[in-house]
Amino acid sequence: MSTSNKPDWGSSYRLIAADKWKAKSAAMGRDVTETLVEYAQPRAGMRILDLASGTGEPAISLASLVPDGHVTALDLSAELLEIAAERARERKLTNFVTKQADAHQIPFPDDSFDLITSRFGVMFFQTKALQEARRVLKPGFRACFLAWGPFEQPFWMSMMGVAHKYAGGERTAPGQDPCRYGQPGSLSAALREAGFQQIEEETKTVSWTWPGPAEEIWEQAQAMSTPFLPMIKRIPAEKWEQMNREVLQTVGRYAAGGSIKFGAVVVLASGIKA
């Protein structure tokens, strides 16, 4: 993609980018995935459901840790789940399956799972999805979620923050803000509203490093940060080149050793079904 001309986003743009950047995206997200897996404390024999699993994390990591258990990766996108299934096959995981479905209508009976996880998915769930997660969870077991912290952090500010200066208006549509739980206690409140008990929440800063140059992560971010796409599309064509230069310059401040080292402030929260 040219760095000076405004790109032409098609319906398959995100899928192509997901496949193109899957190895580097996985590398960037590895520490975040490990943080959620450690927080979730998977145990032997567990039946685990990973919601909004996309290309397969943390579902694949969980399946690797509980070979005698069973992990289901659920997502709306059959195409992204095919990438997840391919990654699982490469690892010879026989306890991993995918399920195309909406988290707001989970197609499993009550009390089906010992653990529920979601990495960077809960921000787009309505209360119904959290209630559904609680419904399919066995009594006494946990649902564990990882969400973005505040927008005011390097990864978002260096790209979407700069783009927003040129676009004006709202950053995202209502209910589509990936940083909606950046305010401490807000994710806990959502879990409480959905009926979870013994709720815990913490904020952590973890490694979030793109193993490549600024141009790559900016291209990947435009493709994968779907909630911001309407905002980016509003940027006038005559401002695109100037905006693009400013983004690359700002992202470049975090460059070190051939990588872009942003760091990520994330929120971890869990609740138990009584």
Q: Which domains does the chain have, with CATH numbers?
A: 13-272 (3.40.50.150)
Q: Report the pLDDT value the prediction gives residue 141, as an integer from 0 to 100.
A: 98
pLDDT in tens, 200-244: 999 999 999 999 999 999 999 988 888 999 999 999 999 999 999
Distance of CA 181 to the CA centre of its chain: 13
pLDDT in tens, 150-204: 999 999 999 999 999 999 999 998 889 999 999 999 999 999 999 999 999 999 9
Element (H, E) at 268: strand 264-272
Residues above pLDDT 90, as percent of the chain: 85
Q: Report the pLDDT value the prediction gives residue 61, as an integer from 0 to 100.
A: 97
- What DSSP string runs through 144-185? EEEEE--S-SHHHIIIIIHHHHHH-S-SS-TT--TTTT-STT
pLDDT in tens, 166-177: 999 999 988 899
pLDDT in tens, 6-33: 555 444 556 666 678 888 988 999 999 9
